[in-house]
Amino acid sequence: MSATAVASRSRPVGSRLEVVPSSNGFGADIVGFDFELLDERQVAEMRAAWLDHGVVRFRGYRFSDEQQVRLTGMLGDFVKHPRQLKGEEGAHPDHEEILVIGNAKVDGKSSGTMGNSEAQWHTDTWFYERPPAAALLHAIELPPEGGDTYFADMYGIYEQLPSALRKILEGRLIQSTTIFDGAGRVRTGQTAPDTDDIRLWAHMRHPIVRTHGESGRNCLYVGIDSPSSWIVGLPLDESAAILSEIFDFVRMPDFQFKQVWEDGDMIMWDNRCTMHRRDGWDGQYTRVMHRTTTLGERPFYRY
Ligand SMILES: O=C(O)CCC(=O)C(=O)O
Ligand SMILES: [Fe+2]
């Protein structure tokens, strides 16, 4: 694919890129630069916008897989999802840095992961000790409607929580089971649990209030909206009630950036201080996205 930055043709080469924040300040468009001429200074400006706004969007550009991989590599070290490495559903035929998300079929077999169903609120690859910092998702093929993606501002939500609730959460861990994937299937290498007590299931734990490794600000960090998540040490019913209160905030449009995809859009989100979900779409239509991710710090909480 030829790499033409449609939006930047009128701007002089080497000019500063422009950041256009959305009305609530969460999410911004980045306009006015040329992917072909991407340099360290522009990447530093992009990083600053991404740290400020949580989610940034590139719209109106055309760029290739190679350029997505190059930009991601300039932002940090790659995180490769297990599916990418094992050549499973979701592996890209040419770039092991790319995870293919979608419902396209090749020779009757699904070539992407996650199908066409709705995906519940989550952060990416939370089941790793060091989940991704940046995730870049590039729209390759879109259905006529559906498949919108929503991002939630977990700094803003943390700051809005009643202070009594913040006190309960500070210094605690959130536990989520690693047995099931987002679609409820037993992950490769895991076995189904033999007890109903979710506290005993194979899991990953992270601080539920997390200090962001670059901004130093605190935010809520919940891997996934799931009945098998548990705030370690709390009675199960209290933990479930608090998680439900947190997700009431996450569902509020005031804390969200809604992405209605256009051809070629790329979204880059900070996976440490945001969550996301997406709508399903009619499975007779194909939707294909290419995702790359960079390594984040091990989640920590600084008192
Ligand atoms: O398909 C989407 O819009 C988002 C899927 C997702 O959760 C991801 O790319 O991490
Ligand atoms: Fe995701």
Alpha helix segments (H runs only) across the chain: 40-53, 65-75, 82-85, 154-160, 163-169, 236-250
- What CA dihedral angle connects 31, 35, 36 and 40, to 10 degrees? 100
Taking each helix axis from N to C terminus, what angle separates 65-75 and 40-53, rounded to the nearest 10 degrees?
Answer: 80
- Tell me how far apart the alpha carbons of residues 106 and 96 are, in angstroms, rounded to a whole number: 18
Mean pLDDT for the stretch of residues 233-238? 98
* Cα 115 from Cα 101, distance rounded (Å): 8
CATH number of 154-250: 3.60.130.10
Q: Do domains 4-152+257-295 and 154-250 have the same CATH topology?
A: yes
Q: Whose CA is nearest to atom 7 of ligand 1?
A: 277
pLDDT over 90 (residue 222): yes
- Residues with CB under 6 Å of ligand 1 are 101, 119, 124, 135, 137, 149, 276, 278, 289, 291
Quickly list H helices, 33-174: 40-53, 65-75, 82-85, 154-160, 163-169
Answer whether residue 83 shows pLDDT above 80.
Answer: no
**Which position has the higher pLDDT, 83 or 66?**
66
Mean residue pLDDT across the chain: 91
Is domain 4-152+257-295 annotated with CATH 3.60.130.10? yes
Average pLDDT over residues 215-238: 97
Q: Angle CA(41)–CA(47)–CA(52) in degrees, nearest 5?
A: 130
* Domain range list for the chain: 4-152+257-295, 154-250
Query: How much distance in Å is there from the Cα of 12 to the middle of ligand 1?
Result: 34
Of 271, 261, 298, 291, the residue nearest 72 (C-alpha): 291
3-class state of residue 107 by DSSP: coil
Q: How confident is the model at residue 233 (pLDDT cuts 50, 70, 90)?
A: very high
132 C-alpha to ligand 2 centroid (Å): 11
Integer angstrom CA distances of residue 267 from 57, 61, 134, 228:
4, 12, 10, 29
Neighbours of ion ligand 2 (CB under 5 A): 124
Res 9: pLDDT: 43
pLDDT at site 37: 78
Q: 56 pairs with which residues across the strands?
A: 28, 268
Average pLDDT value for residue range 34-46: 86
High-pLDDT (> 90) share of the chain, %: 78
Return the amino acid letter for 287. Answer: R
In which band, very low, low, confident or very high, does the pLDDT at 2 lie, cut at 50, 70 and 90?
very low
Sole residue written with tokens 């995702």: 291
In 227-303, DSSP assigns E strands to 230-231, 256-259, 266-270, 274-278, 288-295
Amino acid 128: pLDDT: 92
| pLDDT grade for 10, boundaries at 50, 70 and 90 | very low
Atom of ligand 1 nearest to the CA of 137: 9
Q: Is the pLDDT of residue 146 over 90?
A: yes
Least confident piece of the model among 58-67, 131-140, 248-257, 279-288 = 58-67
Q: Position 153: which residue type?
A: D
pLDDT score of 62: 84
Q: What is the pLDDT, as a whole number, of residue 1?
A: 34
What pLDDT was estimated at residue 151? 98
What pLDDT does 86 receive?
A: 67
Ligand nearest to the CA of 293: 1
